[in-house]
Amino acid sequence: MNLNKYNQIYQSLSSDIVEGKYEAGDVLPSEHKLLRQFGVSRETVRKALSLLQENGYIQKMKGKGSVVIYNPSMNLTVSHLTSFKEVQAQQTRVYTTVVHTMEKIEAGEVPHVQSALDLKGETLLWQLVRQRKYEGKTHIVDMDYFIHDMMPGLTEEIAQDSIYEYIEKRLGHSISYSHKEITFKPMTELDIELFGPVTPPYTANVKSVVHLSDATPFQYNVSKHLASEFRFVDFSRRFTGE
């Protein structure tokens, strides 16, 4: 896919770290050694190292070197922009997906979605409600709105598998960024119907508006998790320029 050099170096080093060839506290080879090892210029090595630093694998220290800070115990759960299926791959639990609702509606019927996706009232949307089940119990409910004309060929089979894979591989779109919001809400009647009676009757809601790389907003998603089970893990740096 990504055949540029710094990405290859990033892949190589990050796999080494994840696989334990370097442990937390170890120092990576110096930039000078890496540029000889990979046969590239220094700036190219530095781009790869910057990515490792941004993503929480290393901490670069002037005069010392690049120290590994990655710890396998930090499994980034809901964090970052990944579809449900992609998140699953990193996790132990394997959920089954049940498509509860899949219908076409007009954006005007859901004003909050219409404004979040910046649409006209007449725009057709796919409305989806999907349950994520594990051992017969619903743990997550996903409510999604997609722009219909962007994916008129959407089927229940695709919705059950991975819509992101469909969008990227079949339709050739590039999913790029999202704005997320996490809140804590009492269950609605629909929630209780889908989750069954649970205590407390609250959900952790991860709302996101997802954009393509041409900045088009194309998905409005609310992912509802049982409040008692919810866990969001994140790595963040201070001052990436601010």
Partner DNA sequence: GAGTGGTCTAGACCACTTG
Partner DNA sequence: AAGTGGTCTAGACCACTCC
Q: Any idea which residue has 């892949």 for tokens?
A: 11
Q: Any idea which residue has 């899949």 for tokens?
A: 102
Residue 42 interface partner, choices DNA, a second copy, none, CB cut-off 5-8 Å depending on type: DNA
Residue 183 interface partner, choices a second copy, DNA, none, CB cut-off 5-8 Å depending on type: a second copy
Round to whole Å and give the CA distance between 42 and 54. 18
Round to whole Å and give the CA distance between 178 and 104. 23
Q: Quick one: 36 or 137, whose CB is closer to DNA?
A: 36
Instruction: Give the containing element (helix H, strand E) for 127.
Output: strand 124-134
Q: How far is the CB of 149 from DNA (least distance, A)?
A: 19
Tokens encoding 60: 């670069």
Q: How far is the CB of 146 from a second copy (least distance, A)?
A: 17
Give contact residues for DNA (rule: CB under 7 A): 4-7, 28, 30-33, 39-44, 46-47, 49, 60-66
Give contact residues for a second copy (rule: CB under 8 A): 6-7, 10, 14, 43, 48, 51, 54-56, 59, 61, 67, 69, 74, 79-82, 175-184, 186, 200, 202, 204, 211, 213-215, 227-228, 230-238, 240-242
Q: Quick one: 4 or 155, whose CB is closer to DNA?
A: 4
Question: Which positions ≥6 away from 174 have C-beta within 8 Å?
Answer: 168, 212, 213
Q: Are 34 and 45 in contact (CB under 8 A)?
A: yes
Q: Quick one: 6 or 145, whose CB is closer to DNA?
A: 6
